[in-house]
Amino acid sequence: MEYSTFGRHVAIDCWGVDFDLINNAERLQLHMVEAAEACGATVLSVQAQQFDPQGATVLVLLSESHLSIHTYPERGFAALDCYTCGDTVDPEVAIEYMVNVLKPNTTHSKKLIRGTGDLEVVERSIEKVMVK
């Protein structure tokens, strides 16, 4: 499939993630930057926020767009998304990198093709049960 310069947007919900892993904004920030670099993106800046009593948000601003995570450790839940413009950076690589880091029990994901008119939803995997 050929993509416009507007790009692809991958969103994934991760369930059954270890509390301590997703309750550490500093550690998540390091992994998110690694994920962005793994997919070939150019990191412009990073914002990370640790919440009290728990939870974290990390936003990696990319030249190609963004990679983000929002966590709810008390529920074992992390919401990730990555939007990249053009066809040289693959957001699925960044998301897969983070899934390998988080090791969720279950994932639900969608990929959107952006900028071609109506949003085209490509179902990547509605439910994927991870084996640890």
Spot the catalytic one: 31, 82, 85, 109. Answer: 85
Which long-range contacts does 41-46 make (Cβ < 8 Å, 24+ apart)?
41/67, 41/84, 41/89, 41/94
Q: What are phi and psi of 84, to 5 degrees?
A: -130, 140
Distance in angstroms (rounded) separating the CA atoms of residues 70 and 64: 20
Spot the catalytic one: 39, 65, 82, 109. Answer: 65
3-class SS of residue 20: coil
**Catalytic residue status for 66:** no
Q: What tokens does 107 get?
A: 């994932």
Spot the catalytic one: 70, 82, 109, 125. Answer: 70
**Catalytic residue status for 68:** no
Q: What tokens does 115 get?
A: 């900028």
**Catalytic residue status for 82:** no
Active site residues: 65, 70, 85
